[in-house]
Structure 1
Amino acid sequence: MTRLASIGGAELLLLWRNWFALSNALLLPPFFGLLFIPQLAEAGMDAATGATLAGGMIGVILAIVVYYNLVSAYVARREELSLKRLRSGTLNAAEILAGTASPAVVIALAQSLLIVVITAAHLDLPMPANPVLLAIGVIGGVVMFVVLAAASAIVTGTVELAQITTMPMLLACFLGAGLVFPLDTLPGPVETAFTLLPLGPIIELITIGWAGTGTLTDAIRPLLLLTAWTVGGTLIIRRWFRWEPRR
């Protein structure tokens, strides 16, 4: 834990000095909340719909704060040879990647909790029916996006290219969050495709955990899907992740 804290502290200092990454982490998520929550409060909705939209906002937070910022961070540390120096020491791969991700993870979890509190207050939603399942959806989503960020760093040659390589995932997450248009208004195959994307199981687990819609059996599918994305990304990292620039 001490070694992880050391890497995390250094990464937090670098994040503090990077105005662009810091603004992405701290300003964009509140912007989405201020943009959508008042409109939703005026419209009125049941607990399940409110929980689904809260899950969508949390998913967008994870996609921006964890996924996008970490792709840039992993690529930058690789190009600076920081990852190579850490890898040549006593730290293993998991410790290096987790330590680098720790500031983004803490910020994302704090903002997710804030979204839950603010959404519940403004939309007059009940307390979560299954807070454990809700927490699994959020924490599992954080872990999955950390893994996917490291996997995306493999095909990202420079920090500047991160804006391009992360765009498909960010666009899919934003559209699939259900904030722009309700997913149930889409044709069946399209809606199913969105639920299979990384954001799908996060929203589904948060909805079930908060609104209590369905049974624990209904949570098996999103849990398996979340696990599949995480395991798939982990296998890609173990096979192709590079610790130094390709010369």
Structure 2
Amino acid sequence: MKTDVLHAVRLARLDLTLVGRNTTVLFNVLLLPLLMAWMFTQTQNGMDVAGVPGQLYVLTGVPGLMLGFAVFINLVNSFTARREELVLKRLRGGQPSAPAVLGGAALGALALYLGQVALLAIWMRKSDGLLPANVPMLVAAAALGVVLFGLLAAAFSGITPNAELAQITVLPVILVMMIGAPVVFPTDALPGPLGVISGLLPVTPVVEIMRTAFLGTDHISGGGEALSMAGQWMAALPSFGLLLAWIAVAALLARWLFRWEPRHG
């Protein structure tokens, strides 16, 4: 167990080093989501959403979209490229166990993602004077979100023929996240079945929990009432339950679809 953890940490450090050396990847996974956050805030025009200033509402929902870039796209590209270059096969045949290899990738993605969330928190502190109301719940939602989208990335890499086609494979998921996630508006703002579908998306519980953790108000049941820290955890239980259910589904998909060896040859 201890050896697997050490291997995972080493692999995570290697991943972060490679991301830091690749300007294109660094822009796509770290800076592009922040640019999108700024663009979304420009659509609010001083309006309030669910009792929250529009800009602040968007910024507290953007961490959901960041999962799509810092975790999902990043890991689909990484898993697919390493599989086709036989890196995954060599790693699996060496000392690191399979959980250590996948855990190292997820750990590196978690570090990137927490860095983005920290930048967002600084942005909100500077623009609105806001500090997160519930940091432990914020970190818990971030960690579970990375696990979920890391597993989905493992599954999608298995159906991606090569790294060049990875951008096409991930596109439907990113479009659904951008359109359906409650980043700019709450799920109940959508008509009928669309609101139900939005509420069941895997990214939605992450957005709801993190928005509640940032603001200290209930943005899960939609009321927007101020909550104590214990009240925030109680209100978030249904969203945590949905998030864990999605993790179970994603784990089954990853087990079924993930490949350690190239699809061809």
TM-score under structure 1 length normalisation: 0.87
Q: Offset of 1:133 from its aligned partner?
A: 2.1
Pairing partner for 1:31 from 29, 35, 57:
35
Q: How many percent of aligned residue pairs carry the same amino acid?
A: 36
Please give the root-mean-square deviation of Cα atoms over the aligned residues, in Å.
2.5
Query: 1:102 — aligned with what?
Result: 107
Q: Offset of 1:196 from its aligned partner?
A: 0.8
Structure 1 residue 203 and structure 2 residue 207: aligned?
A: yes
Tell me the secondary structure at the aligned position of residue 212 of structure 1: coil
Q: Offset of 1:174 from its aligned partner?
A: 0.9
Query: 1:239 — aligned with what?
Result: 256
Deviations 1:202-233 (A, max 9, x none): 11112332333264443222111111111111
**Structure-2 separation of matches of 1:202 and 1:83:** 30
Query: 1:80 — aligned with what?
Result: 85
Structure 1 residue 143 and structure 2 residue 160: aligned?
A: no
- Cα 1:133/1:48, change in 2 over 3 Å: farther
Structure 1 residue 53 and structure 2 residue 70: aligned?
A: no
Q: Offset of 1:181 from its aligned partner?
A: 5.2
**Structure-1 separation of matches of 2:106 and 2:141:** 18
Structure possessing the higher relative contact order (Cα contacts under 8 Å, 6 or more residues apart): 1
- Cα 1:131/1:103, change in 2 over 3 Å: closer
**Structure-1 separation of matches of 2:185 and 2:235:** 24
Query: 1:16 — aligned with what?
Result: 20
Matches for 1:66-215 after TM superposition, within 5 Å: 66-125=71-130, 127-179=131-183, 183-209=187-213, 210-213=215-218, 215=231
> Is the contact between residue 176 and residue 199 of structure 1 (CA under 8 Å) also seen in structure 2?
no
Listed as ranges, the gaps of 5+ residues in structure 1 are none
Listed as ranges, the gaps of 5+ residues in structure 2 are 219-224, 226-230
Counterpart residue type for residue 163 of structure 1:
Q
Aligned length: 246
Q: Offset of 1:53 from its aligned partner?
A: 2.5
> Is the contact between residue 78 and residue 243 of structure 1 (CA under 8 Å) also seen in structure 2?
yes
Q: Offset of 1:179 from its aligned partner?
A: 4.4
> Is the contact between residue 83 and residue 244 of structure 1 (CA under 8 Å) also seen in structure 2?
yes
**Structure-1 separation of matches of 2:92 and 2:63:** 33
**Structure-1 separation of matches of 2:39 and 2:185:** 14
Deviations 1:158-195 (A, max 9, x none): 11221111111101111123445554331032112112
TM-score under structure 2 length normalisation: 0.82
> Is the contact between residue 62 and residue 183 of structure 2 (CA under 8 Å) also seen in structure 1?
yes
> Is the contact between residue 75 and residue 154 of structure 2 (CA under 8 Å) also seen in structure 1?
yes
Deviations 1:42-92 (A, max 9, x none): 445644866652332111111111111110000000001000001011211
**Structure-2 separation of matches of 1:221 and 1:181:** 20
- Higher mean displacement: 181-190 or 110-119: 181-190
Tell me the secondary structure at the aligned position of residue 198 of structure 1: coil
